[in-house]
Amino acid sequence: MSRYLLNKFLFTVDRDPELVERYRADPADTVRWWEDEQANRILNCHGAESSTWLRFDDTERTALSTHDYPALFELGAHPFLTLTLFIAMFERDHDGLGFQLEYARRLAHFSLPYPDITT
């Protein structure tokens, strides 16, 4: 299980306008491409010096590939990263705070303590 890698996906997609749109339009393909091409890149390093060991497990890959943000919350992805990226993708489909409130409702079955987000 790699909360770090889930966060790395959310972080790198959220900061790139083209990737935000690509992930919205085709999540499964974007996740496949990202895991193959980007997951092992150390962000401040030359591509030839990438890591060799980072990959999603099936649960993580499925959660990302299906835009399943309640599952990401359960897996301990950082809630700020998940929220920010999903607002970027889906706020436009709702009025006002509609998406944010739906997001809260879909997480309503969680109670304290929330899943650990420590990496």
Binding site for other proteins (CB under 8 A): 4, 7-8, 11, 14-15, 17, 42-44, 73, 78-84, 87-88, 97, 100-101, 103-105, 107-110, 112-114, 117-119
- Rounded least distance, CB 68 to other proteins, Å: 14
Distance CA(31)–CA(50), nearest Å, equals 18
The nearer residue to other proteins, 63 or 81, going by C-beta atoms, is: 81
The pair of structure tokens assigned to 67 is 């835009």
Question: Are the CB atoms for 5 and 54 separated by under 8 Å?
Answer: yes
- Rounded least distance, CB 34 to other proteins, Å: 16
- Rounded least distance, CB 105 to other proteins, Å: 8
Q: Is 68 exposed, middle or buried (0-12, 13-18, 19+ CB in 10 A)?
A: middle
- Rounded least distance, CB 28 to other proteins, Å: 23
* DSSP H or E run through 42: none
The pair of structure tokens assigned to 26 is 């085709």
Distance CA(23)–CA(5), nearest Å, equals 16
The nearer residue to other proteins, 66 or 119, going by C-beta atoms, is: 119
